[in-house]
Amino acid sequence: MAYAIIQAGGKQFKVNEGDVVQVPSLTAEVGSSVEFDALLAADGDQIKVGGSLEGQRVTGTVVEHGRGKKVIVFKKKRRKQYKKTHGHRQNFTAVRIESVGAASDKSE
């Protein structure tokens, strides 16, 4: 089974074809195509890393934009009558992976 490691928004994700991955928010419209650089590509026993990738790309389609689950941040200092509660929801973009490891057809 072919898979790749991609980087989006400063985070790395392991993806297979057909996966839906929630990456940090992208500016692409719903239904548009996005490309990611592959940091690592594996197909069975063959693993390619770094310079041996030679421009292999991972392509996907934007499925939706949304917000993650709320994370509660609670701060307290004992015996000081200090409590503070904050909530945070991270924005995300859901991307369906169409192809893994396809060579880029851009001529640079």
Task: Please report the pLDDT score of residue 37 as a whole number.
Answer: 87
Tokens of residue 73, six digits: 């941040």
Contact 26, 34 (CB under 8 A): yes
* Alpha-carbon distances of 8 from 76, 77, 107, 108, rounded to whole Å: 34, 37, 23, 22
Tokens of residue 37, six digits: 């650089």
- Distance of alpha carbon 45 from its chain centroid, rounded? 24
The answer for residues whose C-beta is within 8 angstroms of residue 72's C-beta and 6 or more apart is: 85, 86, 87
Contact 15, 3 (CB under 8 A): yes
d(CA 13, CA 84): 33
Task: Please report the pLDDT score of residue 104 as a whole number.
Answer: 54
d(CA 100, CA 13): 13
pLDDT digit of tens for each residue in the chain (108 aa)?
A: 689 999 999 999 999 999 999 999 999 999 999 999 889 998 888 888 877 777 788 999 999 999 999 999 999 999 999 999 999 999 999 999 999 876 555 544
